[in-house]
């Protein structure tokens, strides 16, 4: 098992990550961001994820396709149908087996992000209304795909959230976790 992240994970995708997260909040429009994200995701999948899966390795990825729909679609207003077409062109029907969405009120999430990173990346600096749309987008995605998605209440302590994640992964994937 190994952990990776998006955008990023492979050298090419990490280069795109820097483009996406640095600079002014209005640096890119939503469709440009989606195109960059899908280019990074394709590189990440081809160079890291697919070889690992062929070798039988479990992968935990911090963010993936749902984040593009939530951020660029629900949050920034790009039409979901356009995002789906871009996504399909980049990675066809490649999907995770399980997606965990950690949910908490926007004000708490922004406070936690600020405590971790100070000023934050260009997405974290967007206004509260964006973050409310983002949260609602993630919840809508989870509601539309309840077999693949699980919403975890992230309001508790680190230990409580961890226990909820472990229980959900064990139950959904039918595996025993310590």
Residue 177 pLDDT level (bands cut at 50, 70, 90): confident
At residue 107, does pLDDT exceed 70? yes
CA distance 4 to 117: 19
Residues contacting residue 107 through CB under 8 Å, at least 6 positions apart: 128
CA distance 158 to 164: 10
At residue 119, does pLDDT exceed 60? no
Please report the domains of the chain, with CATH numbers, ordered by start residue.
2-173 (3.40.50.300)
The string of pLDDT tens digits covering residues 130-153 is 999 999 999 999 999 999 999 999
3-state SS assignment for residue 150 = strand
At residue 122, does pLDDT exceed 80? no
Burial class of 99 by CB neighbour count within 10 A (0 to 12, 13 to 18, 19+) = buried
Residue 25 pLDDT level (bands cut at 50, 70, 90): confident
Note whether 127 and 75 are within 8 A (CB): no
> Dihedral of the CA atoms 142, 76, 69, 147 (nearest 10)?
0
- The pLDDT value recorded for residue 23 is 75
Strands (E), 63-117: 99-103
- The pLDDT value recorded for residue 27 is 84
- The pLDDT value recorded for residue 77 is 96
Note whether 97 and 58 are within 8 A (CB): no
Note whether 14 and 22 are within 8 A (CB): no
At residue 124, does pLDDT exceed 90? no
Q: Residue range 103-108: average pLDDT?
A: 92
- The pLDDT value recorded for residue 22 is 82
Mean residue pLDDT of the chain comes to: 92
- The pLDDT value recorded for residue 16 is 92
Note whether 154 and 104 are within 8 A (CB): yes
- The pLDDT value recorded for residue 118 is 61
The string of pLDDT tens digits covering residues 55-97 is 999 999 999 999 999 999 999 999 999 999 999 999 999 999 9
pTM: 0.90
CA distance 61 to 7: 10
Preceding peptide of 148 cis, ω within 30° = no
Residues contacting residue 34 through CB under 8 Å, at least 6 positions apart: 68, 72, 78, 82, 83, 86, 87
């Amino acid at each position: 098992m190994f952990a990776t992240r998006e955008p990023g994970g492979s050298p090419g995708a990490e280069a795109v990550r820097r483009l996406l997260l640095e600079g002014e909040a209005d640096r890119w429009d939503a469709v440009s961001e989606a195109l960059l994200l899908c280019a990074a995701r394709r590189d990440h999948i081809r160079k890291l994820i697919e070889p690992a899966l062929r070798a039988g390795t479990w992968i935990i990825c911090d963010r993936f396709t749902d984040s593009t729909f939530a951020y660029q679609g629900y949050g920034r207003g790009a039409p979901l149908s356009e995002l789906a077409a871009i996504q399909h062109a980049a990675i066809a029907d490649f999907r995770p087996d399980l997606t965990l969405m950690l949910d908490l009120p926007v004000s708490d999430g922004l406070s936690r992000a600020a405590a971790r990173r100070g000023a934050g990346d260009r997405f974290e600096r967007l206004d509260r209304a964006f973050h409310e749309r983002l949260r609602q987008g993630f919840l809508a995605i989870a509601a539309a795909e309840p077999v693949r998605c699980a919403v975890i209440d992230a309001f508790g302590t680190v230990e409580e959230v961890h226990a909820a994640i472990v229980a959900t992964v064990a139950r959904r994937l039918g595996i025993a976790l310590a």
